[in-house]
Amino acid sequence: MKPTHVISLVFYLFIFVSCSQGYKEETASTATIVEDTQQVKLDEPKLSSPAAVPVVTQNVQPQDIVNFAKTLVGVPYQYGATDPAIGFDCSGFITHVFNHFNIQVPRSSVDFTNVGTEVETTDAAAGDLILFTGTDSTSTVVGHMGIVTENTDSLRFIHSTSGRAYGVTVSALNKSYLRRFVKVIRIF
């Protein structure tokens, strides 16, 4: 094998492992922080990204997505799963919710990096997607995600977490999540 092929192979393996590890959102060491509901104000600069990949949302309204997602609160966390009878990982939850409305979305959280249009957190609305890194503090790769449920007095989102809640739950954008925050995207 040529050296350039080996480098390419190592790069793709690194991305695959990083993405796979990104599915495990909160570890036991961060689980106590996840429940912290103290809010912090975001003054994050807008990140630049390549051209957005469109998602065809048909005639579905963002609030329909949120309402359906909330019916799944309590479904347990299950790595790699997209079935409510078994459980969900974070992107499996998103996939299931959007597929319920026949909206095709990427299966892995990292694949949402260039989907939709980035919006400021102050402009985030119900149905927008919120992206985070995984729990590896040295990584900047998207490894966790959720659906914004509201953004009135605080930004809240629904997601499937492997942390203390260990399943589908609604969380506030607190200090723990803020440290891992990447961006909010709008696909509607």
pLDDT (tens place) for every residue of the chain, 188 residues total = 444 443 433 333 333 333 333 433 333 333 322 333 333 334 433 444 455 677 888 899 999 999 999 999 999 999 999 999 999 999 999 999 999 999 999 999 999 999 999 999 999 999 999 999 998 888 999 999 999 999 999 999 999 999 989 999 999 999 999 999 999 999 99
Determine whether 100 is an active site residue: no
Contact 42, 121 (CB under 8 A): yes
Q: Which among 108, 87, 90 is positioned nearest to 160, based on CA atoms?
A: 90
Query: Quick one: pLDDT at residue 69?
Result: 98
Exactly one of 5, 19, 90, 100 is catalytic; which is it? Answer: 90
110 contact partners, CB below 8 Å, separation of at least 6? 15, 18, 19, 22, 141, 142, 143
Determine whether 19 is an active site residue: no
Distances, alpha carbon 57 to alpha carbons 13, 118, 181, in Å: 32, 17, 25
pTM beyond 0.85, yes or no: no
Q: Helix or strand or coil: residue 134?
A: coil
Exactly one of 5, 19, 100, 159 is catalytic; which is it? Answer: 159
Query: Quick one: pLDDT at residue 44?
Result: 39
Exactly one of 5, 19, 100, 144 is catalytic; which is it? Answer: 144
Query: Quick one: pLDDT at residue 53?
Result: 72
Query: Quick one: pLDDT at residue 121?
Result: 97
Query: Quick one: pLDDT at residue 131?
Result: 98
Determine whether 96 is an active site residue: no
| 107 vs 42: CA distance, rounded Å | 28
